[in-house]
Structure 1
Amino acid sequence: MLVIDNFLRYLKEYKNYSDLTIKSYSIDLREFSEYIKKNITSVTKEDIKKYLNYLFIKEDKNKTVSRKISTLKSFYKFLKENDVITINPASNIKYPKKEKTLPKFIPYNELESMINVSKEGKFGVRNNLIIELLYATGTRVSELVSIKLNDIDYDNKSIRILGKGSYERTVFYGDYVSELLDIYINGLRNELLGSKQNVYLLLNKNGDNITTRGIAKIIDNIIKETSIKVKVSPHTLRHTFATHLLDNGCDLRSVQELLGHKNINTTEVYTHVTSERLKDVYFKSHPRGRL
């Protein structure tokens, strides 16, 4: 539909949203359009409520429903501001209550197991660098695949990251990553690149910049070779980065800055994770706690 296409173009050209985010908006809007079976510009508040009820019957998670509501709110706000509609049917739609879930993270011994396995094989240096970068910097996977060579400050061991909403921040890395970068950039990366030109740091086997899905697949393959039983995604390493920093005395405000959270409330969830860990340690270790 033309109005949807115009909205998606606006997100790309004016809001600078990533292709992955725009794809998510597109899927949400087309799913909604298929459900209501009427002109999407003639939708009422009642139509949206019926759709949300359908999602809950379908047992979509609250987080998924909230994302779809956010999509509809953004879309109809865009239509209203551009005089396509006179009344925004989504303006007073309420979000469902958030499900309280704590971020999953990897204990350090299991992380070391991942790191060791990642070194194996033809692409070991690159895969090892991916794991080390995710853990060392706490970047989102979308940010990781967007790192360009000129974003890296080798002298200061830092990387310029363009995060959500074009918010720029600096992340840091240590000696492990520094050494891996040198080996990868001057070795395997040149082999993968061949005669091509590419400004991005991480490349796939064809010399093209690697995708978020490619990173997820690499991590899945690494996990299969370890004894780790839980599901591990690139975002799990971001959670691990934050949790380990707090466990080792880093203050919450600094973790917020490093993660690129605009609101410290988003970062505070990690304090609950570390509190749960401390509670577990207490009951396992204290003489009276074990009674």
Structure 2
Amino acid sequence: MQDLLPELTVTLSRYERHLRSERGLSDASVRAYLGDVISLLHHASVLKKPELEHLDLPVLRSWLAKMRTVGGARTSLARRAAAARSFTVWAHTAGLIAADPAARLVAPRTHRTLPSILREDQAAQLLNHPPASGQPGWSATSDAQREDLAGNVAPTSPLAALQLRDNAALEMLYATGVRVSELVGLDIDDVDRRRRVMRVIGKGDKERVVPYGLPADRALELWLTQGRRHVLTASSGAAIFLGVQGRRMDQRAVRTLVHQRLALVEGAPDLGPHGLRHSAATHLLEGGADLRAVQELLGHASLNTTQIYTHISAERLSAVYRQAHPRA
């Protein structure tokens, strides 16, 4: 930012506070927004329009065009356009510019690819069949420990106890469609087991309440009553899902768990936790859930984001038709 006008440096500091305090964005999101805005302001300075009031639609278009010439993908251009809009809307609202120059900015449309998902039978197999001894998803040290878990007997080691944790984590991911960050962020008081709902803090620190079903509740009960105490330490705090060292479970451990367990499901795509989120949303819609309700469950800010799951359902229906109908 050294070649920007001093007043722009001050403006960027104010904008950063807005992103963190008022919008509640994560550190990564704040860095991405600021990086795009700084790039835009540098470009305006090269065009001999160094002051904020000189920022206009031709400058914005020229900036995006330059990104395109150096090989920027459509998704990257769309993200940069969104960052520019966010900044100019804020600057106009704050009285720093007379008009919003990005109000008429048209960003390139992205080619949205449909995510891979599990079939309902594959999801059932993932959740109903814990891995056998020696397989990648197995964490206990003996078949006797696995028999303890199958019979709901208190596990005899921390590693065996973590098998209960893994089962509960998978059940909750599929039952609720929460993000992996939301899952590992759960505390004991966030879950109301009597009503079978949990309080989730999502993107932008937005809170929502998500219901879950009886199988997930049973798996959670086994972990909380029989497994968690075997890895509980002074550093565990109120976290529901704990790692081997007793601290809050890491997102990477959940991703590894999902990949390992799905590797045991014949024909299943190699998905991460977000794939279970996609699967849960699609199965809800196919079961008759309202699109608006699914939006609330997933914590999507825009209904357009949720609508991708209607496209998944339509594509699957078309594939079944082409396979089954004699005159398809």
Category of TM-score, reference length = shorter chain:
0.7 to 0.9
CA deviations on 1:232-259 (whole Å, 9 max, x unpaired) are: 2322211100111222333434333323
Structure 1 residue aligned with 2:87: 75
Residues 1:22 and 2:30 aligned together: yes
Residues 1:49 and 2:61 aligned together: yes
Q: In 1, Cα distance between the equivalents of 2:319 and 2:209?
A: 34
Structure 1 residue aligned with 2:209: 170
Q: In 2, Cα distance between the equivalents of 1:30 and 1:215?
A: 35
Could you tell me which amino acid in structure 1 is paired with residue 223 of structure 2?
Y
Structure 1 residue aligned with 2:148: none
Q: Which runs of 5+ in 2 are unaligned?
A: 2-8, 140-158
Q: In 1, Cα distance between the equivalents of 2:44 and 2:251?
A: 32
Tell me the secondary structure at the aligned position of residue 210 of structure 2.
strand
Q: TM-score, normalised by structure 1?
A: 0.79
- Give the drift of 1:32: 5.2
Q: In 2, Cα distance between the equivalents of 1:202 and 1:228?
A: 29
Could you tell me which amino acid in structure 2 is paired with residue 181 of structure 1?
L
- Give the drift of 1:189: 3.5
- Give the drift of 1:88: 4.5
- Give the drift of 1:156: 1.3
Asked whether the 8 Å contact 2:242–2:248 carries over to 1, the reply is yes
Q: Which moved more, 1:220-229 or 1:246-255?
A: 220-229
Distance change (3 Å), C-alpha of 1:260 and 1:187: same
Structure 2 residue aligned with 1:120: 138
Asked whether the 8 Å contact 2:122–2:268 carries over to 1, the reply is no
Equivalences for residues 68-147 of structure 1 within 5 A: 68-85=80-97, 88-112=100-124, 114-115=126-127, 116-117=130-131, 120-121=138-139, 122=159, 123-147=162-186
Could you tell me which of 270, 273, 293 is aligned with 1:234? 273
Could you tell me which amino acid in structure 2 is paired with residue 124 of structure 1?
Q
Could you tell me which amino acid in structure 2 is paired with residue 201 of structure 1?
I
Alignment length, in residue pairs? 289
Asked whether the 8 Å contact 1:73–1:91 carries over to 2, the reply is yes
Q: In 1, Cα distance between the equivalents of 2:70 and 2:234?
A: 50
Structure 2 residue aligned with 1:151: 190
Asked whether the 8 Å contact 1:16–1:166 carries over to 2, the reply is yes
Equivalences for residues 1-12 of structure 1 within 5 A: 2=9, 3-12=11-20
Structure 1 residue aligned with 2:151: none
Asked whether the 8 Å contact 2:74–2:108 carries over to 1, the reply is yes
CA deviations on 1:5-46 (whole Å, 9 max, x unpaired) are: 432322222222344433443454456567777668475544
Q: In 2, Cα distance between the equivalents of 1:23 and 1:190?
A: 39
Distance change (3 Å), C-alpha of 1:126 and 1:275: same
Asked whether the 8 Å contact 1:163–1:260 carries over to 2, the reply is yes
Tell me the secondary structure at the aligned position of residue 90 of structure 1.
helix
Distance change (3 Å), C-alpha of 1:15 and 1:181: same
Asked whether the 8 Å contact 1:282–1:289 carries over to 2, the reply is no
Q: TM-score, normalised by structure 2?
A: 0.72
Asked whether the 8 Å contact 2:255–2:272 carries over to 1, the reply is yes
Q: Which runs of 5+ in 1 are unaligned?
A: none
- Give the drift of 1:263: 4.7
Asked whether the 8 Å contact 1:125–1:180 carries over to 2, the reply is yes
Could you tell me which of 306, 310, 314 is aligned with 1:267? 306
CA deviations on 1:219-240 (whole Å, 9 max, x unpaired) are: 3454556656745232221110
Which structure has the greater CA radius of gyration? 2
Asked whether the 8 Å contact 2:182–2:201 carries over to 1, the reply is yes
Q: In 1, Cα distance between the equivalents of 2:93 and 2:178?
A: 34
Q: In 1, Cα distance between the equivalents of 2:324 and 2:301?
A: 37
Q: Report % sequence identity.
A: 28
Tell me the secondary structure at the aligned position of residue 237 of structure 1.
helix
CA deviations on 1:79-113 (whole Å, 9 max, x unpaired) are: 34334555644343222124243333112343345
Asked whether the 8 Å contact 1:119–1:127 carries over to 2, the reply is no
Could you tell me which amino acid in structure 2 is paired with residue 269 of structure 1?
I
